[in-house]
Amino acid sequence: MKKPNEMTLDHIRSVFFLGIGGIGMSAIARYFLSKKIKVSGYDKTETDLTIELSHLGAQITYTDDLVSTKTDYDIIIYTPAIPKDSILLNYFQFHSTPMIKRSEALEIITRNKKTIAVAGSHGKTTVSTMIAHLLRECGIDASAFLGGISVNFNSNYVYGESEYVVVEADEYDKSFLRLSPNIIVLTSIDTDHLDIYGSREHIVSTFQEFLDLLPSNGNLIFSENVQDQITVAGKKSQYGFSLGEIQATNVQVLPTHSTFTINHGSVTFKLNYNGRHNIENVLAAVSVGKTLGLSEEAMSHAIATFRGIKRRFELIYQDEDITFIDDYAHHPTEIEALLSSVREIYPGQRILSIFQPHLFSRTKDLADDFAAALDLSDEIILLPVYPARELPIAGITSDWLSKKLHKPVFVVEKTAILSVLKARSCTIILTIGAGDISTLVPKIKKQYSEPS
């Protein structure tokens, strides 16, 4: 794939984002705003992200037309999630304004940096956020483009003065092939985005193509879960619970925190962020730190102050009767990890999962796996499929998915969720999904924290 090596952003004075409310797009928009560049953009709905960008100075429209949108910009940055029939997309495509994808913009921004790229089907956001936090707490002033809102930074973009930048290497649309990584962290390879790849074999080969972008003096850090799927050359380290150079030992998982050592060492790591899978994410971040010469003592202090990412195992509300957790999980493997962690941390509790399937194609391709993962709950509420960039697929609905589940399941509209919840008696409530299910979170919290 040809990289836009001839392009720089030095001349840019104004930029328009098509899909500015996306988590990756908004991080790049924050970067341009920090450079005092005029930022405008379009998205279909107002969200907390777009409101924050507006407060920072971005001009945002929620109408896909030429009447409410100026058209004279130095560059257009767009996301592949924008529908192909978008009026604005088609206008800019057939006029002379330069257009680049989000991945191209990220490549240009990071081109002269030492790039720490976090790749994988799952865990990218948590690992990249942990790495950015760990480096900065240990004295390396790294920049970061994150796929979630860090609680510590209260942002998905972090400005730093050092030569290091942390980025998520997104496999969707093969975007990560545009990056120039110096360190790659590979967390997992799973079946997803079959609308792009067609087969698991193609997914694995494309991840391998990404790994091959590492220069001869680069470093690969990878999970024990992927060791049989990739060919590893050059400098490398492996992390996990049973294999590799960096292993979690003396693990204790408690309701409020987890503790562990590395390779039975003398330094105890305390993570105030639940889930056994998050211990593995810490191992990935620590592996990066060790590659850069950081001490375990310094890194343990940094991890102890890590406060997590919004919508990643986020504890929303808790009293003596109810624990309410919100999570971005939208793939069966992620849902299984979430529910397994909840079972471990809250043994004997009755779990109600409220799940919003994300994409018709993913729901269709992975339906049996979704059912198996969700059946780890005691009860399930399914919301309608969130379409994102897709048109409906005939027959693929939440009602269709519900018939594959074995536990009690209710298919409801978002507007009915509060009344349905009133009739349930579970002690753990989970909201799960990557769509607009997050808009229900404050309403559900209010129902439990301020009962009528």
Residues 276 and 421 in one domain: no
pLDDT tens column, 308-329: 998 888 999 999 999 999 999 9
Residues 270 and 354 in one domain: no
> How does strand 314-318 pair with strand 323-327?
antiparallel
Residue 122 confidence (pLDDT) above 70: yes
Average pLDDT of the residues in 20-32: 94
Average pLDDT of the residues in 216-222: 93
User: Cα-flanking dihedrals φ and ψ of residue 49, to 5°?
Assistant: -65, -45
Residues 223 and 76 in one domain: no
Average pLDDT of the residues in 109-136: 95
Residues 353 and 375 in one domain: yes
Residue 370 confidence (pLDDT) above 60: yes
Average pLDDT of the residues in 212-225: 92
Residue 289 near residue 135, CB atoms below 8 Å: yes
Three-state SS for 112? coil
Residue 79 near residue 16, CB atoms below 8 Å: no
Residues 163 and 142 in one domain: yes
pLDDT tens column, 282-307: 999 999 999 999 999 999 999 999 99
Among 304, 338, 368, the domain-final residue is: 304
What CATH number is attached to the domain comprising 30? Answer: 3.40.50.720
Among 101, 130, 158, the domain-final residue is: 101
Structure tokens at 20: 């500015």
Does 1 map to a domain?
A: no
Residues 45 and 140 in one domain: no
Average pLDDT of the residues in 374-379: 96
- The letter for the amino acid at 54 is S
Using pLDDT thresholds of 50, 70 and 90, give the confidence band for residue 6. low
The pLDDT, as a whole number, for residue 3 is 43
Residues 227 and 151 in one domain: yes
Beta bridge partners of 221: 185, 237
Residues 331 and 286 in one domain: no
Using pLDDT thresholds of 50, 70 and 90, give the confidence band for residue 7. low
Does 309 map to a domain?
A: no
Residues 81 and 162 in one domain: no
Residues 264 and 335 in one domain: no
pLDDT tens column, 394-438: 999 999 999 999 999 999 999 999 999 988 889 999 999 988 898
Total number of domains constituting the chain: 3
Distance (Å, whole) CA 341 – CA 275: 5
Residue 437 belongs to domain spanning: 314-449
Using pLDDT thresholds of 50, 70 and 90, give the confidence band for residue 1. very low
Residues 124 and 260 in one domain: yes
Does 7 map to a domain?
A: no
Query: Which residues have a Cβ under 8 Å from the Cβ of 295 and sit 6 or more positions away?
Result: none
Cα–Cα nearest to 16, from 94, 92, 108, 96? 92
User: Cα-flanking dihedrals φ and ψ of residue 334, to 5°?
Assistant: -70, -40
Residue 18 near residue 88, CB atoms below 8 Å: yes
Does 53 map to a domain?
A: yes
Using pLDDT thresholds of 50, 70 and 90, give the confidence band for residue 4. very low
Distance (Å, whole) CA 446 – CA 343: 25
The pLDDT, as a whole number, for residue 2 is 38
Query: What's the mean per-residue pLDDT of the chain?
Result: 91
